[in-house]
Amino acid sequence: MLYVIQNGFNMVAPTPAENIVYCVSSVQKMIDLGLDFVFTDGHAIDGFSSQHTAADLWNIETLLDMRAIYDRYWNDENDLDKKRRKEAEFLVVGDIASSAILGYLTYNENARDRVVNFGADADAVHVRSRFYF
């Protein structure tokens, strides 16, 4: 999705990486806030992907392909299903309160400064340009 947003595919207008901010949270934070959620073992819209609930969290490390998720590369000519598994999703029902946000990631220092100027705690905003395309 981020690649599509940055590059403007599928009738989406391109958005510079500097204008995209990651809001970081955690599964534990969602549990602590009592939010309903599901997670998938691949892209949620794909028919090969399975949905899982909070009852399955104890087994999340075996349900998800962590190697594919953390791999820098999306495609593998020897594993045509890798991209789907890499796109595993965590989907929360409804809105997430700002108290659920643990931090922010930005593309560069200019974007970081803008987020801080919007009122975010400077210690919670980090530059991670390698997380962008």
pLDDT in tens, 58-88: 999 999 999 999 998 999 999 999 999 999 9
- The whole-angstrom separation of Cα 53 and Cα 37 is 7
Is pLDDT at 35 greater than 90 in this prediction? Answer: yes
Spatial distance between the Cα atoms of 82 and 5, rounded to a whole number of angstroms? 21
- Residue 87 DSSP symbol: T
Helix (H, G, I), strand (E, B) or coil at 47: coil
pLDDT band at 133 (very low <50, low <70, confident <90, very high): confident
Residue 51 has pLDDT above 90, yes or no: yes
Cβ atoms of 50 and 95 closer than 8 Å: no
Domain boundaries of the chain, sorted by first residue: 17-131
Q: Which of 42, 1, 3, 46 is nearest to 132 (CA)?
A: 3
The percentage of residues in the chain with a pLDDT greater than 70, rounded to a whole number, is 100
Nearest residue to 38 via CA among 55, 52, 56, 57: 52
Give one DSSP letter per residue of 58-84, joined into a string.
GGHHHHS-HHHHH-S----TT-TTHHH
pTM (2 d.p.): 0.85
pLDDT of 1 reads: 82
